[in-house]
């Protein structure tokens, strides 16, 4: 392995460790009292209501599991399910006000930079932003 490959491996390892060092999923679950899967579903609904099929796709899961999650969220009063006016076979899932508050709180927790990154000097953060901005968005998931 050459120096460039060594550098790439080192940088990727540090980025992975930085992201994974703090079990953010557990923090979200503990602070909100919901499984990460449930908060993930709520977060997918922040921008707009989704049909059950769309929600399953957004969650990268199958429709039966998405239905199970939505059933539980509906029981908790965090989402509502209505019939689509365009196609009565489709069910549309919408956040309730309480569901929106929880989804927004989950986003706040997940978007908070880890301490290791927050501790960098402003110039280093700006340089890192510049560098990471050169990575094509399609490669970032």
pLDDT tens-digit map of 71-125: 999 999 999 999 988 888 899 999 999 999 999 999 999 888 888 888 899 999 9
Distance spanning both ends of the chain, measured CA to CA: 27
Q: Where are the domains of the chain?
A: 1-22+114-130, 37-113
The pTM of the full predicted model, rounded to 2 decimals, is 0.79
H helices of 21-96, in order, are 24-32, 36-44, 52-58, 63-75
Strand partners, 92: 51, 82
Identify whether the C-beta of residue 81 lies closer than 8 Å to the C-beta of residue 92. Answer: yes
Mean pLDDT of 1-6: 84
Please name the residue that has the structure tokens 């569901």: 99
CATH number among 1.10.357.20, 3.40.630.10, 3.90.1170.50, 1.10.10.10, domain 37-113: 1.10.10.10
- The predicted structure's pLDDT at residue 73: 98
pLDDT tens-digit map of 7-39: 888 888 888 887 776 678 888 899 999 999 999
User: What does the block give as tokens for 129?
Assistant: 């932003």
Q: Residue 46 and residue 50: Cα distance in Å, rounded?
A: 10
- The predicted structure's pLDDT at residue 96: 98
What's CA 118's distance to the chain center, in Å? 20
């Amino acid at each position: 392995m050459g120096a460039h490959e060594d550098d790439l491996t080192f940088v990727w390892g540090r980025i992975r460790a930085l992201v994974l060092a703090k079990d953010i999923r557990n923090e979200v679950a503990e602070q909100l009292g919901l499984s990460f899967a449930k908060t993930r579903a709520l977060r997918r609904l922040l921008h707009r209501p989704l049909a059950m099929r769309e929600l399953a796709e957004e969650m990268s899961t199958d429709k039966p599991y998405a239905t199970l999650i939505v059933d539980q969220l509906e029981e908790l009063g965090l989402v509502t399910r209505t019939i689509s006016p365009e196609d009565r076979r489709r069910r549309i899932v919408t956040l309730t006000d309480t569901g929106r508050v929880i989804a927004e709180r989950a986003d706040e927790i997940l978007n908070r930079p880890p301490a290791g990154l927050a501790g960098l000097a402003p110039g280093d953060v700006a340089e890192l932003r510049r560098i990471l901005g050169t990575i094509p968005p399609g490669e970032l998931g």
